[in-house]
Amino acid sequence: MTKEISKNIISIKSLSNKSTKGDKVLLETKRQKQKKLTRKHLIEVAIVQFGENGIIATRTADIATVANVSHGTVFAHFPTQEELLISVIEEFGNRISQRLHELINTNSSLFEVLEAHITGLIEFEPFYTRLIIERRLLPESVCNTYIMIQSTISFHISIAAEKEIEQGNIRKIPIHLIYNTWIGLIHYYITNGDLFSHNGSVLKQYRNELLEHYANIISK
Amino acid sequence: MKQCIACGMPMKSVEDFAMGDLEKEYCKYCCRPDGTMQSYEEKLNSLTNFIVKTQGIDEKTANSAAKSMMAKLPAWKTE
């Protein structure tokens, strides 16, 4: 990292003889960029580590080791375990929202939205599994972020559901129950993944069965 | 991508913006009929109801979560 910066200093200086405020600003932007990259890298590593070893069991020191940075670096970006955890969950929330935005639009059927939801979850399955298993033991700030994420997903589902209710395709059920029934089903399979799947993604294995079953029970 | 400063919703297309105005910093859900942005109380109320409607969560808890989320947003951050 230092090599890159010094290379840049040399190339900047060679462009002009004056060492001006402009050079300093350029250097700061590169440093900011590096900081952003490191932060992103740490979050990526944390997602994997949390997924593999559990959230509570993972120390910031473990993340530093796997990310190949000093513990001080982790500390500089995330002064507490809690702040790291919040950042990770927010990243998860952003990515799954993005996924939904990419895969669905205002004309999507309920089935398509639910499909998109499972697709998004599969990408984070190990982490999400640990999150929902350990959630009651995690700080309140985590709970609040979690609530917002679930409401966002529920909202997407509700847009499609309300249309289908209007069209008479599915039963008239309150939005929160449409959501809680779906998430209840999904979470049961996830939290008991060891019973349903011996080798990894329980959502991948049961995806079609769950989608079809759910569609079946809420259809008129 | 631009995010609504009052509720954090991503604003992708023109319709997402308040009054369909790309210059606005807030989204259609945070917009009053007269075009101005909702107040903190209005938004807190609206967000709390949103959480209750979408998940059936207890109102006090929903209110807490809404407050906590809003505290992070540009429109409501206290310096």
ipTM score for this prediction: 0.90
Q: Are A118 and A207 in contact (CB under 8 A)?
A: yes
Query: For the whole prediction, is pTM greater than 0.90?
Result: no
Residue with the larger pLDDT of the pair A35 and A184: A184
| pLDDT over 80 at A12, yes or no | no
Q: Residue A2's pLDDT is what?
A: 63
Q: What is the mean pLDDT of residues A184-206?
A: 95
Which domains does chain A show, CATH number per domain?
A: 1-79 (1.10.10.60), 82-220 (1.10.357.10)
- Size (chain A), residues: 220
Interchain pair A147, B51: CB under 8 A: yes
Q: How far, CA to CA in Å, does A179 sit from each of A126, A164, A184, A210, B55?
A: 22, 14, 8, 14, 7
Minimal CA separation from A51 to chain B, in Å: 25
User: Of A141, A151, A176, which has the smallest distance from its Cβ to B68's Cβ?
Assistant: A141
Q: Are A121 and A201 in contact (CB under 8 A)?
A: no
Average pLDDT over chain A, rounded to an integer: 90
**Interval A92-101: pLDDT, tens:** 999 999 899 8
Interchain pair B69, A144: CB under 8 A: yes
Chain B, 5 to 64: residues with Cβ < 8 Å from chain A are 10, 12, 50-57, 61-62, 64
**Interval A68-85: pLDDT, tens:** 999 999 999 999 999 999
Residue closest to A82 by CA, chosen among A38, A137, A125? A137
Q: Residue B2's pLDDT is what?
A: 84
User: Of B55, B56, B64, which has the smallest distance from its Cβ to A144's Cβ?
Assistant: B64
Q: Is A180 on the interface with B (CB under 8 A)?
A: yes
Q: Are B59 and B48 in contact (CB under 8 A)?
A: yes
Average pLDDT over chain B, rounded to an integer: 92
Interchain pair A155, B56: CB under 8 A: no
Q: Residue A14's pLDDT is what?
A: 52
| pLDDT over 90 at A4, yes or no | no
The widest CA-to-CA distance across chain A, in whole angstroms, is 77
